[in-house]
Amino acid sequence: MLESHLRFVSVILILADLLFCSSGYFPTDDLIHSGNLTGVLAGEAVIPPMILPLSLSSPPRARSPRQLLHGENYSNARMPLYDDLLLRGYYTTRLFIGTPAQEFALIVDTGSTVTYVPCSTCQQCGRHQDPRFRPEESSTYKPVKCNIDCSCDEQRKLCTYERRYAEMSSSSGVLGDDIVSFGSESELKPRVVFGCENVETGDLFSQHADGIMGLGRGTLSIVDQLVDKGTIGNSFSLCYGGMDIGGGAMVLGAHKLPDDMVFTRSDPNRSPYYNIELKEIHVAGKPLKLSPSVFDGKYGTVLDSGTTYAYLPEEAFVAFKSAILNSIHLLQKTPGPDPNYNDNCFAGAGRCSFSIRPTHGCHLKFVSADLLCWCYS
């Protein structure tokens, strides 16, 4: 999800069914070149990364774990990955908070800058996957007291947070500080500041997942906090198997990358989120006849792991729609699942792909699953 001040973004790209640049690497610096990996990846003291699971629902016990780094032991946390992307449309990972640890399923969201879970004192929270966080039962929990660096409650006692998202959902509550861990195979148990929710609205209220893991840039981002503490190296990675393969992995910290890794620029001065300079879109192997300036709005093209759909400027969408219709004209059109939206749906569709090519050579490819019906709107 994107926090609400990103209302003028040119393009928002889904990460949920995307293998980003071969391994899903997100540099937290503004640019990493394939021939210059000093600092982030090849610093003098490389801190072991953490590999976390991405899933959408409670993992089925019968399924076996799958390793994504080809057996190389670069992390101190490795966990089985599962997903049911069609059912819920987002990836989650597990986060453990407090002493003793309380477990939560959190949506992995590069469009959010704070991590939060429902608090036991929440006045307006939905029913989620796990019980609410009970700070009174954690011996290591500390409320973040009101100070000049935060917004404060009416009594001027506690720091508060509030996040509003572009799809009109919101989360607000108080800030707390506690020990977190990332699974039984992780040795790291740092203290982090997170949100203890008192109010949820919109999709955040109705979603199955407990909360959000905020991976965006900012002082409350869990990535920035761990980097500032020296807990992890200054990078993180997301790699998705998508609907064909399933599962994925999240790596917090530097790790060895494939030899064929390709990099593209992300400009932190343009927006607080992970943007790329989009160059062109291909449908059925042919580029759309669009100027790159179409995608060059205020914030450029944002990669958002918490957004289910891809959003395009109108000119780009019209061209994309036309190319799709020309490519699948033999398929039967069928009504969409929601009569409130003018979806373009087709029955009996098999595999279909389109690709997006940003600058600096990185190639993003999207492939649909083998569904009876697929839509765009």
Asked whether the predicted pLDDT for residue 237 surpasses 90, the reply is no
Question: What gap in Å lies between CA 308 and CA 209, rounded to an integer?
Answer: 14
Maximum C-alpha span of the chain: 65
The 3-state secondary structure of 349-365 reads: CCCCEEEEEEHHHCCEE
Structure tokens, 188? 């790291």
Confidence of residue 120 (pLDDT cuts 50, 70, 90): very high
Q: Pairing state of beta strands 344-347 and 373-376?
A: antiparallel
Average pLDDT over residues 43-55: 54
Contact 303, 274 (CB under 8 A): yes
Question: What gap in Å lies between CA 295 and CA 303, rounded to an integer?
Answer: 13
Average pLDDT over residues 297-319: 88
Contact 78, 50 (CB under 8 A): no
Give the model's pLDDT for residue 90: 84
Dihedral sign for Cα 205, 209, 213, 214, please. negative
Q: How far is CA 198 from the centre of its chain?
A: 23
Contact 129, 94 (CB under 8 A): no
The larger pLDDT score, comparing residue 250 to residue 34, is at: 250
SS3 321: helix
Q: What is the pTM of this model?
A: 0.75
SS3 216: coil
Structure tokens, 225? 């906090």
Question: What gap in Å lies between CA 352 and CA 242, rounded to an integer?
Answer: 14
Question: What gap in Å lies between CA 51 and CA 80, rounded to an integer?
Answer: 10
Question: What gap in Å lies between CA 73 and CA 66, rounded to an integer?
Answer: 14
Question: What gap in Å lies between CA 241 and CA 244, rounded to an integer?
Answer: 7
Question: What gap in Å lies between CA 1 and CA 214, rounded to an integer?
Answer: 10
270-289 residue pLDDT tens: 887 899 888 899 998 899 99
93 CB contacts (<8 Å, ≥6 apart)?
52, 53, 54, 55, 105, 106, 108, 182, 213, 250
- 107-121, 156-170, 235-249, 279-293, range with the lowest pLDDT: 235-249
Average pLDDT over residues 109-118: 94
Average pLDDT over residues 209-229: 92
Residue with tokens 């640019």: 31
Q: Pairing state of beta strands 301-304 and 11-14?
A: parallel
- 128-142, 242-256, 362-376, range with the lowest pLDDT: 362-376
SS3 52: strand
Give the whole-number percent of the chain exceeding pLDDT 90: 36
